[in-house]
């Protein structure tokens, strides 16, 4: 597995993302150029509809840019085929969602083992130990054999973060990961993200919650598809 960390984990160059609507073409992102250095904890902020999820979808390769290029950890992902992209994504990017999206019929341990099963990233005999290590890392090793419904919201999000870490991706993206959690639990989740960045992962978090800005080394503010404020931008 290629574990080389590039200086810039994310590079968007002159990226425009257009959607075709009945009323014509709509630009959700407009000529965005952006560099995110490896190992940073970065917030993406902006009003509803400003383009935050569109940006994440381009970084994870779920969407392709209409114009411009997207390079993630040194790979020009807009040039990958769909099958190469799926395999690349599973190994390179861990994704965390607002509503956790754990599979309810699997235990927490089984949920965390899933990405390794999907990507065949580690030998079968090693997957359980590796999943337990991730649960330990996020502080819920004692919840391994429970089903998601038996866990608190904060514990479920920790489990989802453990699952995102299963394949040891260099990049973690999270779309409003604390939107469904109380403020104290949210703080503990942001601390966990900070520890991941400290350990060298690039962590990109979409959040509406301004009170947590101190956790982030950089903030990318988006307004109407344009980046209005960030110290990570360079032309
Ligand atoms: N598949 C699509 N087809 C058409 N328009 C889209 C599509 N996806 C997003 N858009 C539009 O692009 C703009 C940006 O959407 P996006 O989901 O990126 O915003 P957001 O900042 O993530 O919003 P929210 O905080 O509400 O999730 C919006 O006007 C949205 O309606």
User: Considering the domain boundaries, does residue 116 fall inside one?
Assistant: yes
Distance of alpha carbon 151 from alpha carbon 211, whole angstroms: 26
Q: What percent of the chain has pLDDT over 90?
A: 83
User: How many whole angstroms from 136 Cα to the centroid of ligand 1?
Assistant: 36
Over residues 170-199, mean pLDDT: 94
Nearest CA to ligand 1 atom 12: 28
Over residues 61-82, mean pLDDT: 93
Query: CATH number for the domain including 131?
Result: 3.40.50.300
User: Considering the domain boundaries, does residue 6 fall inside one?
Assistant: no
Nearest CA to ligand 1 atom 28: 49
Q: Is residue 155's pLDDT more than 50?
A: yes
User: Considering the domain boundaries, does residue 14 fall inside one?
Assistant: no
Over residues 37-63, mean pLDDT: 94
At 136 the three-state DSSP class reads helix
Q: How many domains does the chain have?
A: 1
**Binning pLDDT at 50, 70 and 90, where does residue 75 land?**
very high
| Triad 14, 20, 24: Cα angle to 5° | 105
Element (H, E) at 194: helix 183-198
CA dihedral in degrees (226, 228, 231, 234; nearest 10)? 40
User: Considering the domain boundaries, does residue 216 fall inside one?
Assistant: yes
Q: Domain of residue 107: give its range.
A: 39-65+81-229
Distance of alpha carbon 59 from alpha carbon 222, whole angstroms: 15
User: How many whole angstroms from 113 Cα to the centroid of ligand 1?
Assistant: 32
**Binning pLDDT at 50, 70 and 90, where does residue 151 land?**
very high
User: Considering the domain boundaries, does residue 75 fall inside one?
Assistant: no
What is the tens place of the pLDDT at every residue in 105-143?
999 999 999 999 999 999 999 999 999 999 999 999 999
Closest approach atom of ligand 1 to CA 21:
4
Mean pLDDT over each residue of the chain, to the nearest integer: 92
Q: For residue 80, which phi and psi values (nearest 5 degrees)?
A: -80, 150
Strand-strand pairing, 67-72 and 8-21 = antiparallel
User: How many whole angstroms from 189 Cα to the centroid of ligand 1?
Assistant: 26
Q: Is residue 5's pLDDT more than 80?
A: no
Residues whose beta carbon lies within 6 Å of some atom of ligand 1: 19, 21, 26, 28, 46, 48-54
User: Considering the domain boundaries, does residue 31 fall inside one?
Assistant: no
Nearest CA to ligand 1 atom 29: 49
Q: Is residue 234's pLDDT more than 60?
A: no
pLDDT of amino acid 6? 63
pLDDT of amino acid 212? 84
More confident residue, 86 or 103: 103
User: Considering the domain boundaries, does residue 2 fall inside one?
Assistant: no
pTM of the model: 0.91
Complex ipTM over 0.95 = yes
């Amino acid at each position: 597995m290629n574990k080389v960390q590039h200086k810039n984990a994310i590079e968007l160059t002159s990226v425009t993302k257009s959607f075709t609507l009945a009323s014509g073409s709509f630009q959700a992102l407009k000529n965005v150029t952006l560099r995110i250095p490896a190992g940073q904890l970065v917030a993406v902020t902006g009003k509803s509809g400003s383009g935050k999820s569109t940006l994440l979808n381009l970084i994870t390769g779920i969407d392709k840019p209409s114009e411009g290029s997207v390079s993630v950890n040194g790979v020009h992902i807009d040039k990958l085929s769909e099958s190469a992209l799926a395999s690349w994504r599973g190994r390179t990017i861990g994704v965390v969602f607002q509503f956790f999206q754990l599979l309810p019929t699997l235990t927490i341990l089984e949920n965390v083992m899933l990405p390794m099963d999907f990507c065949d990233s580690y030998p079968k005999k090693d997957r359980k130990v590796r999943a337990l290590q991730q649960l330990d890392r996020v502080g819920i090793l004692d919840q391994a054999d429970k089903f998601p419904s038996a866990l608190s919201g904060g514990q479920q999000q920790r489990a989802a973060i453990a699952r995102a870490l299963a394949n040891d991706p260099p990049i973690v993206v999270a779309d409003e990961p604390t939107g469904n959690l109380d403020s104290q639990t949210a703080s503990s989740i942001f601390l966990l993200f900070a520890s991941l960045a400290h350990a060298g992962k690039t962590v990109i978090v979409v959040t509406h919650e301004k009170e947590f800005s101190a956790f982030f080394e950089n903030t990318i503010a988006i307004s109407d598809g344009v980046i209005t404020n960030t110290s990570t931008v360079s032309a």
